[in-house]
Chain A
Amino acid sequence: MKKSIRGLNVLVFGLLLVTGVSCSKSSGPAQEKAEAGKGKLFAVSFQTMNNPFFVELNEGIKKVIEEHGDRLITMDAQFNSLKQKNDISDAILQGAAAIFINPVNWEGVTGSLKQAQRKAIPVIIVDAPVRDASLVLCQVASDNLEAGRLAAQALAEVNPKAKIVILHLHANKACIDRVAGFKEVLEKYPEMQILDIQEGKGSTEGARPVMVDLLGRFDELDAVFPINDPSALGVISALESGGRLDDVTVVTVDGSAEGIAAIKAGKLHSTSAQSPTTIGRIAAEKAYEHLAGKAVEKDIKIPVELITKANAE
């Protein structure tokens, strides 16, 4: 028993130390400033932070909030709807002034939206929409339908008879819209054909094995539409190791630094560029407008721009 008590001391001491250190670590300069000015607390929950897009979006929000002398807590749901629900509930119970949500599951977030509504906390949805828009203050997102259309159009220009596979992220409405926009343009090109649509998990490591498998199944495939830059990188890696990079055209949506680098290297044909920093900035500005009592538009679409080798920089 004595031994166990000593063990307990170690655990408790360790816990206190580690947690104490991290608590103090979190009060960096930004937070001190906020505390000094009795700043408001804002929170943002992302479906993942393992994607440069969301890191930039977060920076866009954070910049505006810190300029107001307030502070922002960023939470990473790791594609886990339940964790996102718990994270948001933590922020609500702390009395956040407003919450930004990038939903993992456009329906799964409903409970969190209702909880925020009961506490009269405004919710701004960023990037991917939610099913029940009446529960939120506003939604700020790229024009994803247009992004899909631009990708299909770019592909049609280089290969109007393309045999295409799509690597989808099925649970995500932004990606659902991109694929819908993509298919819309294909209707104008009867010779273009979708061979298969597979779940690519929206990540490099998720897309690569799926692409390897697709290459084995379809000899005739000569175009891929992975729905974002990270999956496009996985696809390119699979094409390189399969020796098919030269005869397969890859078009995608995002416009990240990695994606543009791949375009310049001639591995990626095009990416319909979003502007995550702008999305973040506009979302944060809308939150402050609402808190100042102004009316806010419900649905805000941020334009996308096609980037190919011609305008990649």
Chain B
Amino acid sequence: MNTLKRVAPLLIAIVLLLLLFRICVPNFLHPENLLDLTQQISINAILAFGMTLVILSGGIDLSVGALLALVGTTTVYFLTAGQTALGLCLAVPAGLVVAALFGLGNGVCASRTAMPPFIITLATMLIARGAALRFNEGRPMHVPDTQVLFLALGNGRLFGVIPVPVVVMLLLFAATSLLLHRTRFGQHLYAIGGNREAARFTGIPVARVEMLVYVLCSVLAGAAGMIHASQLYSAEPASGVMFELHAIAAAVVGGTSFTGGRGTMYGTLLGAIIIGILDKGLNQAGVHFSFQYIIKGLVILGAVYIDVRRRK
């Protein structure tokens, strides 16, 4: 019930936006268009799930966009080296290991030192970007046509209907929201974000929880990176620029408080949907791209304003 109350404004905003765009764009609510919408938001939503965990802990992770590119390039590198099922079995774990190592680095720095997460992840963002650009002189890397399974990750459809990235997004949503809302880890995370010192005194393993949060965020970014490479039939060392900011926007529009300790996974998913509807609707209504930025900026401001009002 409580959850419903919290997400009600977001649901109403979604319904109103859909109706509004239905007026401007005749076939906006066509099932195929809506299905396409879910596919378009999948990468941002997956990044935003991880970002929500980090923001809840009172931190921030600016490295996810660059990490998306690094995991994409690493994975495709191995896919090319072994152009068979064996290559796939090697490539996916390799990509995830790279992601986890970066997450561990972020986590160790954030939890064991006094360095602010903003600066730590700004630095790891540069490191990940540089590492990604080492591949193929910065040029896109082609996914071999033989890697049918990998290409299906971004372009396939389950039962010929639901895009595979959407399935992955929903599975990761289920996993992260269970973790956040149904486990002790989730309770600890809210406690740390609410009041770090108090959490430490009640015996919560603050450092361990924080470390895990950054690892999860990075691994999710890794998963997004693989979907990205698959959807684009190639890994781009220069891709993912600003993706961290879009993920933060989805989390914040979904009601995640920037000071930590407040926010839900449902909210973030709805936030990503709102941003996705805006992107698609404004595009299809033929709104000039310059206005699109202004409108999105205003929406983010409005959402944060409400968040601040509600907290009073």
Contact = CB atoms under 8 A, between A and B. Distances in A.
Interface in A82-111: 82, 85-87, 89-91, 93-95, 105-108, 110-111
A131 B295 CA distance: 35
Size bin of chain B's contact surface:
35 or more
Contact of A93 (B23, B33, B305): B33
A11 to B, nearest CB: 5
A75 B238 contact: no
A235 B193 CA distance: 47
Given A10-B305, A22-B295, A111 B231 contact: yes
Interface stretch (B8-16, B80-88, B100-108): B8-16
Contact of A26 (B32, B40, B242, B287): B287
A81 B232 contact: yes
Contacts of A91: 283-284
Contact of A94 (B9, B27, B228, B233): B27
Nearest to B283: A90
Interface string A59-76: 000000000000101111
Contacts of B139: 170-171, 176
A22 B246 CA distance: 22
Contacts of B30: 93
Residue in B142, B233, B291 whose Cβ sees the most chain A Cβ within 10 Å: B233
Contacts of A111: 154-155, 231-233
Contacts of A7: 9, 305-306, 309-310
A120 interface: no
Interface string A283-295: 0000000000000
Given A31-B286, A81-B239, A93-B30, A4 B9 contact: yes
Contacts of B13: 8, 11-12, 15
B234 A108 contact: yes
Interface in B202-250: 228, 231-234, 236, 238-239, 241-242
B158 interface: no
A289 to B, nearest CB: 25
Residue in A18, A82, A105, A110 whose Cβ sees the most chain B Cβ within 10 Å: A82
Nearest to B34: A93
Given A93-B32, A93-B33, A108-B234, A15 B155 contact: no
B197 interface: no
A19 B277 CA distance: 12
Interface in A2-21: 3-4, 6-8, 10-12, 14-16, 18-20
A111 B233 CA distance: 7
Nearest to B39: A89
Given A3-B312, A19-B295, A171-B139, A105 B9 contact: no
Contacts of A14: 298, 302
B10 to A, nearest CB: 9
Q: Is the interface of B mostly helix, strand, loop or mixed?
A: helix
B136 to A, nearest CB: 8
Contact of A3 (B25, B286, B310): B310
A85 B232 contact: yes
Q: Is the interface of A mostly helix, strand, loop or mixed?
A: helix
B140 A107 contact: yes
A273 to B, nearest CB: 26
B303 interface: yes
A25 interface: yes
B309 A23 contact: no
A49 interface: yes
Contact of A107 (B16, B154, B232, B286): B232
A166 to B, nearest CB: 12
Nearest to A24: B24
A189 interface: no
Nearest to A8: B9
A243 to B, nearest CB: 30
Contacts of A49: 289
B170 interface: no
Contacts of A106: 140
Given A80-B241, A170-B138, A89 B287 contact: no
A94 B24 CA distance: 12
Contact of B284 (A3, A74, A94): A94
Contacts of A8: 9, 12-13, 306
Nearest to B155: A111
B231 A82 contact: yes
Contacts of A16: 16, 20
19 contacts: A3-B309, A4-B306, A10-B305, A12-B12, A15-B17, A18-B299, A19-B21, A22-B295, A23-B24, A26-B288, A49-B289, A74-B288, A85-B231, A86-B40, A86-B283, A90-B36, A94-B284, A171-B238, A176-B139
Given A26-B286, A86-B280, A107-B233, 5 more contacts: A15-B302, A82-B231, A85-B231, A105-B232, A110-B232
Interface of B: 5, 9, 12-13, 16-17, 20-21, 23-25, 27, 30, 32-33, 36, 39-40, 43, 133, 137-140, 142, 154-155, 228, 231-234, 236, 238-239, 241-242, 278-289, 291, 295, 298-299, 302-303, 305-306, 309-310, 312
